[in-house]
Chain A
Amino acid sequence: MREKKKLEIMHTALKLFAKKGFFNTTIADIAKEMGMSVGNMYNYFPSKESLAKELLLYTARIFGDEIKKINEMDISTKEKIKKIVELYFKKAKEEPELVDYFMRVYLSNKEIFSNGCEGMLCVSPFVTEIMIFFEEGVRKKELKNQDFFAAFGLFMGYIGGLAFLNRENILGKSLDEYIEPVSENIYNALKA
């Protein structure tokens, strides 16, 4: 019950962050939207920073769990790339606030996360699965053996950038139509 309530608060917070921006949103705003007292809100999250941290962990876990399922599939690395792109674009469409939060709040305001989310700490479930995806791709000789971050940046920067452009309504087509060419480009750039 408590976890369910926490999730509701997090989703409400995500929507408000997307609408008003992270700094302009207060705990009182979230409480109001939830129909809760501010005091009660603090029972769930002692500060906005702690809410921000939990949101990040939550996001990383959702993506981590989904990519783990893809990692465990008996399919080629090329097909896995497409599945990951599909997953990311699907989330970007269905829960744009989640991608917004990750790009606009986490990546742009690292100081909020300096206590308890240093380095990869709060995104560990997601990064670990991406590491496993790359490692197995190289082990199977389907991907080129190279520096992890060179590959990670190419993959995540690319799809993150497209999700961002989509959110800004700059793309001429629907995000779905980019799944195929983007997957193909990533594979061509990373293949052995």
Chain B
Amino acid sequence: MRSKPKLLWIDAVSCNGCSHSFFNIDLSFLDDFELLYHPLLPSGDFKIQSSDILIVEGAIKSNFLRLGFDLNELISKLFFKAKTVIALGTCAVYGGIFGEGLVFNKTSKGKFFKCKDKVINIPGCPAHPEWLFYVLNMLKENKKIVLDELNRPVEIFSYTSHMGCTRNEYFEWKVDAKRFGEKEGCLFYYFGCQGPFTHSSCNKILWNEVNSKPRAGTPCFGCTEPLFPKENLFQTETFMGIPANIPLGVSKRAYLTLSGIAKSLTNERLTKRLIKCENEDKQKDN
């Protein structure tokens, strides 16, 4: 029998959100791993040791104490004793809210950039549990994980969170949502949705297999992107009424032409509410 991969999970400067996100899947699959250390799960005492997979959750930062070590020194020691390193969550990947990422510091190079070949980046605030599940399974099975230029698995991050959004028909016809929480209308034009330019498969695989932010009526906050979090997450940044950020892969000229045409060819069906709330008229009267 092949020995189980040794897994060491370290929390750097973190809210432990990615751990809690991960706990939403059936953790019995961890039985296939030898869990050397996890800050929240039952595991052995921490010590500096070699591992097959090192997961770093959270950002790195100077003069920050963790497990009796200076954090950067601790990560450095574990990093070079690991075969593969997973940077888990936007803080570990880009720095996020708390500090610097391993390979990247926002959009510039991070401390471990030179050793990026052994790092797999899984951004997200938090990272989707299925994403880590996929990466760990692939590593366990010794299968090749194809990564993009930012060291993210292409199977997950080639998509945008716009793909699979149930509001896409509204986006196509440029029909805006009127209020938060409504199931109808697109959240891109006014309510800050970053789905069309955010790399993630949220709307393809969903959260807890049932929902996503835009489906539920909240904009995508772009939490997998290097500059997350931006300001005014519930408001679309516009320049003279034109979205400051446009869908990936098209020129501004092409996007404006297409959206102008869509707006001109009014979709009568979608401009009215598809499902009228029973008490809506009464509520308006009041």
Interface residues of A (CB under 8 A from B): 68, 118-121, 124-125, 127-129, 131-132, 134-139, 143, 145-149, 151
Contacts and interface: CB of A to CB of B under 8 A. Distances in A.
Contact of A135 (B242, B260, B263, B265): B242
A61 to B, nearest CB: 12
B238 A145 contact: yes
A129 B260 CA distance: 12
Nearest to A137: B240
Interface string B252-275: 110011001101111000000000
A3 to B, nearest CB: 22
Contact of B242 (A68, A119, A124, A134): A134
B240 A119 contact: no
A145 B238 CA distance: 8
Nearest to A146: B240
A156 B198 CA distance: 36
Contact of B261 (A121, A135, A137, A145): A121
Greatest chain A CB density within 10 A among B238, B239, B257, B264 is at B239
Given A128-B257, A132-B252, A135-B252, A118 B264 contact: yes
B44 interface: no
B42 interface: no
Nearest to B239: A138
B241 interface: yes
A120 B240 contact: no
Contacts of A125: 257
- Chain B interface extent, by class: 10 to 19
Nearest to A117: B264
Contact of A120 (B252, B253, B260): B260
14 contacts: A68-B253, A118-B265, A118-B266, A119-B264, A120-B261, A124-B257, A125-B257, A127-B260, A132-B256, A135-B252, A137-B240, A139-B239, A143-B240, A151-B240
The A interface is mostly helix, strand or loop, or mixed, namely helix
B244 to A, nearest CB: 7
Contacts of B253: 68, 128-129, 132
A121 B264 contact: yes
B241 A147 contact: yes
Nearest to A131: B256
Contacts of A149: 241
A127 B257 CA distance: 9
B227 to A, nearest CB: 16
Nearest to A119: B264
Nearest to B265: A118
A128 B261 CA distance: 10
B247 to A, nearest CB: 15
A134 B260 contact: no
Contacts of B244: 139
B240 A135 contact: yes
A119 B265 CA distance: 7
Contact of A124 (B241, B252, B261, B266): B261
Contacts of B241: 146-149
A35 B245 CA distance: 53
B140 to A, nearest CB: 47
A111 to B, nearest CB: 16
B263 A120 contact: yes
Given A146-B241, A147-B241, A148-B241, 9 more contacts: A119-B266, A124-B260, A131-B240, A131-B260, A132-B256, A134-B239, A135-B242, A138-B240, A148-B242
Contact of B239 (A118, A120, A124, A145): A145
A134 B252 contact: no
